[in-house]
Amino acid sequence: MTAPGKAPLIRVQDLTLGYDRHPAVHHLDGEIAPGALLAVCGPNGAGKSTLFKALTGNLKPMGGSIDLGGARPRDIAYLPQAAQLDLSFPIDVFDMAAMGLWRRIGLFGTLSRADEEKVHDALAAVGLGGFERRPIGALSGGQTQRLLFARLMLQDAPVLLLDEPFAAIDERTVGDLLALIARWREEGRTVVAVLHDFDLVRAHFPQCLLLAREKIAWGPTGEALSNENLARARLMIEAFDDRAAACERVA
């Protein structure tokens, strides 16, 4: 990855998100500073992935606003949950990784020799050198996640959103991918990750948003993940009523 453009300051103000007029995130306020390393934590159903959909422009707010600080869509790279990848699709490791270049070369563009070298370098950086012509369906869970990180690297974006990047992968792969994230931060990129392992968050992510349909805490990780805040987050989710009436439509 090359030195990125300056990462933007991202602000959300009174942000409410949902589906079919049923809110999933309520009145969220906060800022993601340029170059931040932020974990988004919370119980299942807390709205973490919903927030990512909004930040990537795939979900329109029901209320409030998102200010991306002038960032363009190509400035935000998104790593979806590995479970969303169709491993039966007939594509090999090289071509899957090369999809990270599509915003620059277009869907039907041709890779230059320099582009091909970038793909090889990205695969080598994640430990998949020599796997280029292996079908993606032949990869292990950890290898699949390494491939997704290689594709993400090739997008070369100043903002990276990672949705459960360490789910169901081996400890060695987690360590290698954490080293990549640390390097991205050193380069001045903003990294925001949905995570469930609180010990990992405390060890590697200095900032944390604890979400439970609304903001429980947003700030230094040690404070955000206090026992009191975690208990409050659990209670908030347990008390939430999915059968509540829909909100009035926002103009």
Report residue 215's pLDDT band, with 50, 70 and 90 as the boundaries.
Answer: very high
Asked if residue 40 lies in contact with residue 51, where contact means CB atoms within 8 angstroms, the answer is: yes
pLDDT at 242 over 80: no
pLDDT at 159 over 50: yes
Nearest CA to 66 among 57, 78, 75, 74? 57
- DSSP class of residue 92 equals B
Report residue 64's pLDDT band, with 50, 70 and 90 as the boundaries.
Answer: very high
pLDDT at 102 over 80: yes
Q: What is the mean pLDDT of residues 124-140?
A: 96
Q: What is the mean pLDDT of residues 86-103?
A: 90
Phi-psi group of 52: left, alpha or beta (phi > 0 → left; psi -120 to 50 → alpha; rest → beta): alpha
pLDDT tens string 28-46: 999 999 999 999 999 999 9
The CA angle 129-132-137, to the nearest 5 degrees, is: 115
pLDDT tens string 171-190: 999 999 999 999 999 999 99
Alpha carbon distance 40, 196 (integer Å): 9
What DSSP assignment string belongs to 96-144?
Answer: HHHGGGHHHH-TT----HHHHHHHHHHHHHTT-TT-TTSBGGGS-HHHH
Domains of the chain: 10-239 (3.40.50.300)
What is the reported pLDDT for 107? 64
What is the reported pLDDT for 249? 45
